């Protein structure tokens, strides 16, 4: 929308401060009162004020009488203006309002009805071209350091201060256990800025902390690399899905576990689909933590965060009986959706269950449900599952969630109890939290899975605790 609100009067040399104030008031009304469009049907001009419109041109008069002004000014405000203004001042006000209406409205000759895509393009984004010259580097395959000094925090930020890998042969040559990769998608529902999640989590050096249960350093027990970012087209989720799926499948085929950092939760679908391309549909379980079921079945878009889980079930990528979802609440957790999840065989756990029975009991139930799931597991975290008191920068934030301690404890247990074939954390939008607490706790969730995987590799049971970590023994 153009920055000027009204037409010729704005450029007059006799422009007065009072007029500036009045135009600002109109602009504020345009923003604050835009929800009143539907009230036009109920608007009726009071008889005692009809004389104030007699000298106006028919267009301006009809604009008031038929309620066309209502999206931009409340009825009571219009009545006050009619009662207090003279004819010339009223004419100016209505002219300005009509100019606002003209700028705010849809004009087929001026405004695009939709954002066009070049459907004839053979590739979704020129940024994914991989020139052959990049392969001319003579280094031997394998992870390599991008840090200038001995301690990683003093050099170029990477996830967990890990070395970098670029090609699948780097992952294979380095026998990489975990490849952490950013997927900065940012075009689904909710508050935006999730595209900044990967880089902010990289720059905050709070991943790869010791496991307080086993006292294991996950970076010594596991071979972890930063695998860069997978390219997305933030003008089109649909354009991004195939490429992300291909890249996840390529990563998974090296036997490294892809650990993905979003980006919005629309990446749940291509992330799981990519792992399934390597391991096989229906071959692994999915535990999904989210406030939202992500099971919308009537969405306009082909793919979004709202329907990612539905598509995985609908396409048979994951079996309903092999799926657990934890933390459901909010507007999307409707009776019909919960019934659909139940009919699909999905084991779901709502905040109603948590509030009634306590999270400890719910976690015990989840652990027991793991028994019937495949040995291999994909763990997905939408940060909306965490209470805003611990993590407010969620793209689809929802009150009354799980504590960060509960989520990290469960994630650690899952990643220690099962062979993890994929992990993702999504929808942390760091611009919504200047304290960086949300980024800190997002890293804590990712770290919880790393320490769980490290404990499993070292042969510890999921609940095993090192004696020194449990008790000082000096009573």
Beta-carbon contacts of residue 210 (< 8 Å; ≥ 6 apart) = 216, 217, 218, 451
DSSP symbols for 341-353 = HHHTT-EEEEHHH
Of 45-54, 102-111, 406-415, the one with minimum mean pLDDT is 102-111
- The domain ranges of the chain are 13-104, 141-457
The predicted structure's pLDDT at residue 350: 97
pLDDT tens figures, 204-225: 888 889 999 999 999 999 999 9
- Residues 208 and 446: beta-carbon distance below 8 Å: no
Other residues' Cβ atoms within 10 Å of the Cβ of residue 407: 26
344: its two tokens: 């699909």
Model pTM score: 0.74
Distance CA 394, CA 292 (A): 12
Kind plus residue range of the DSSP H or E element containing 202: helix 197-203
Distance CA 396, CA 189 (A): 7
CA angle 228, 262, 409 (to 5 degrees): 105
pLDDT band at 304 (very low <50, low <70, confident <90, very high): confident
Distance CA 439, CA 383 (A): 10
Domain at 141-457: CATH code: 3.40.800.10
pLDDT tens figures, 167-202: 999 999 999 999 999 999 987 777 888 899 999 999
Of 64-78, 99-113, 199-213, 375-389, the one with minimum mean pLDDT is 99-113
The predicted structure's pLDDT at residue 129: 58
pLDDT exceeding 70 applies to what percent of the chain? 84
Rama region for 420: left / alpha / beta (φ>0; ψ in -120 to 50; rest): beta
Q: Give the range with max mean pLDDT: 113-117, 154-158, 371-375.
A: 371-375
């Amino acid at each position: 929308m153009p920055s000027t609100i009204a037409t010729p009067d704005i450029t007059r040399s006799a422009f007065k401060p009072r007029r500036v104030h009045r135009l600002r008031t109109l602009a504020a009304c345009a923003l604050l009162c835009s929800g009143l469009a539907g009230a036009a049907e109920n608007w009726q001009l009071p008889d005692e004020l009809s004389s104030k419109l007699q000298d106006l041109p028919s267009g301006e008069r009809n604009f008031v009488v038929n309620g066309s002004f209502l999206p931009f000014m409340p009825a009571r405000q219009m009545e006050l203006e009619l009662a207090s203004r003279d004819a010339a001042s009223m004419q100016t006000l209505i002219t300005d309002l009509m100019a606002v209406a003209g700028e705010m409205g849809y004009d087929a000759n001026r405004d695009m009805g939709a954002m066009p895509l070049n459907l004839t393009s053979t590739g979704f984004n020129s940024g994914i071209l991989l020139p052959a010259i990049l392969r001319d580097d003579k280094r031997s395959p394998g992870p390599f350091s991008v840090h200038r000094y001995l301690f990683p925090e003093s050099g170029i930020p990477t996830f967990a201060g890990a070395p970098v890998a670029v090609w699948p042969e780097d992952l294979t040559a380095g026998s990489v256990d975990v490849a952490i990769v950013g997927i900065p998608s940012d075009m689904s529902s909710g508050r935006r800025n999730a595209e900044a999640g990967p880089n902010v989590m990289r720059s905050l050096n709070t991943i790869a902390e010791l496991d307080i249960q086993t006292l294991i350093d996950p970076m010594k027990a596991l071979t972890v690399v930063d695998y860069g970012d997978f390219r997305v087209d933030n003008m089109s989720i649909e354009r991004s899905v195939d490429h992300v799926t291909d890249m996840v499948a390529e990563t998974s085929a090296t036997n490294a576990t892809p650990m993905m950092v979003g980006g919005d939760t629309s990446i749940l679908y291509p992330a799981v689909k990519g792992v399934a391309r390597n391991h096989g549909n229906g071959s692994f379980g999915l535990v999904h933590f989210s406030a939202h079921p992500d099971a919308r079945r009537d969405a306009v878009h082909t793919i979004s965060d709202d329907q990612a889980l539905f598509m995985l079930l609908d396409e048979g990528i994951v079996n309903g009986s092999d799926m657990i979802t934890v933390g459901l609440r909010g507007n999307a957790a409707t009776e019909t959706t919960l019934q659909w999840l139940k009919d699909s065989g999905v084991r779901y756990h709502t905040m109603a269950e948590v509030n009634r029975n306590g999270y400890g009991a719910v976690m015990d139930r989840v652990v027991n449900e793991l028994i019937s799931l495949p040995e291999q597991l994909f763990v997905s975290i939408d940060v909306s599952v965490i209470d805003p008191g611990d993590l407010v920068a969620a793209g689809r934030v929802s009150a009354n969630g799980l504590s960060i301690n509960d989520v990290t404890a469960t994630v650690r247990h899952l990643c220690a109890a099962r062979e993890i074939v994929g992990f993702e954390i999504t929808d942390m939008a760091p611009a919504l939290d200047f304290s960086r607490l949300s980024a800190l706790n997002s890293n804590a969730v990712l770290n919880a899975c790393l320490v769980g995987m490290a404990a499993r590799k070292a042969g510890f049971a999921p609940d095993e605790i090192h004696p020194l970590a449990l008790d000082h023994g000096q009573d």
